[in-house]
Amino acid sequence: MNDQQLIKLLNKLAESYFLLAPQKLDDNLLPGYEYGIREVKNLEEIDWSGAMPYGSWKEVLLPYHERLFDIQKGRLVETKTKYPPIACLAMNILDLKALTLFEQVFANDLYYQKRRRPMLIVGYSTGLPSDYKKYKVFSHNYEENVLEHVIFDIFVSRQKNGRLKFYSGSEKGQLTLDQAGLTDYNNIEFAGPVAESGPDKTLLSIMAKMEKSANKKIWDELDKRCLACGKCVIACPTCFCFDLEDRDNSAEQSRSRRWGVCFYNDFSLVADGRKELDTVKKKIFFWYYHKLVRIPKQYSLPGCVGCGRCIKACPVGININETIKAL
């Protein structure tokens, strides 16, 4: 396989999909902010360097604001939304892990499912030693032990000799590769999000430490530093909480949902005016507890995929890796 075949595949996808991919935005942007996910107008714009785009695929999978239904003449009417066929290109392995978590969380969510159905996911690995290391955190056998536990339709991996290797991860992926005239690819059957041997041991150990950490002084330290600005939540590809918003006025009776940010004051506000999360310390503890305890308990998967976006986003330098080390 070589790059010509990748171009052939992309040209085929462009016939029926709206293409989105990581792209280099501007050399003058601050380090870490130069790459973003944008519409592909020209195939040469796609960034294949493996750099982590600052914005995440969450914006595509779970839009910031989504109208769900209207009430018309006393009847519930589902909002007519267009779900275009989108090909999400060059999604790195950490973002595939975030997507795999979303697929569990929103398994029964009608709106998510309608949006996801026409999408095609094309994963990508640069094959760089640093990239390869990330996979080895979880296993030594990249093909079987990593790819079979993440969701994708097509996966493209650059080998040490520079050539590309193609994988299909679904019938849709297989059909697409066939239609593009690519014949030399491996099929990977999805074996569920969790390895046969059970949840990752590191994950379990972090979960146990986090669970008993409420009285640790790390939370007092973070309480003093954190601004509760919520940038970490917005940047994070696995933060999936949302608020429901009802409108009831003469012009509109509807329900929408929008991203919820657990650092904001209204997140835990209840009808009588009380707030469960009424201090910064409680908010930041809640954020970590959701990622490191509640998500792993519910899905046997980590609530953090280690992408580092929250570290880049945080204006006061709070670093999840350092917090985990401190725990």
* Chain positions contacting ligand SF4, by CB under 6 A: 226-232, 235-238, 263, 291, 304-310, 313-316, 318, 320
| Residue closer to ligand SF4 (CB basis): 68 or 311 | 311
**What is the side-by-side strand order in the sheet with 164-168?**
35-39, 18-24, 86-91, 120-125, 154-158, 164-168, 185-187
- Specify the long-range contacts of residues 283-286, CB closer than 8 Å, at least 24 apart: 283/226, 283/228, 284/219, 284/222, 284/223, 284/226, 284/228, 284/318, 285/214, 285/219, 286/262
| Residue closer to ligand SF4 (CB basis): 112 or 240 | 240
Cβ at position 239, least distance to ligand SF4 in Å: 7
Cβ at position 116, least distance to ligand SF4 in Å: 20
Distance CA 154, CA 171 (A): 10
| Residue closer to ligand SF4 (CB basis): 146 or 318 | 318
Instruction: Give Rg (Cα) of the chain.
Output: 21
Distance CA 262, CA 282 (A): 10
Cβ at position 235, least distance to ligand SF4 in Å: 6
Distance CA 63, CA 17 (A): 19
Cβ at position 320, least distance to ligand SF4 in Å: 5
| Residue closer to ligand SF4 (CB basis): 45 or 221 | 221
Residue 122: which of 142, 150, 144 has the closest Cα? 150
| Residue closer to ligand SF4 (CB basis): 40 or 310 | 310
Distance CA 147, CA 193 (A): 10
Give me the helices (H) in the chain, please: 3-16, 58-61, 93-105, 110-116, 129-136, 171-179, 201-211, 218-225, 231-235, 280-289, 295-299, 309-313, 320-326
Cβ at position 3, least distance to ligand SF4 in Å: 30
Q: Taking a C-beta distance cutoff of 8 angstroms, is the pair 20, 40 a contact?
A: yes
| Residue closer to ligand SF4 (CB basis): 93 or 235 | 235
Cβ at position 231, least distance to ligand SF4 in Å: 4
| Residue closer to ligand SF4 (CB basis): 124 or 267 | 267
Cβ at position 105, least distance to ligand SF4 in Å: 14
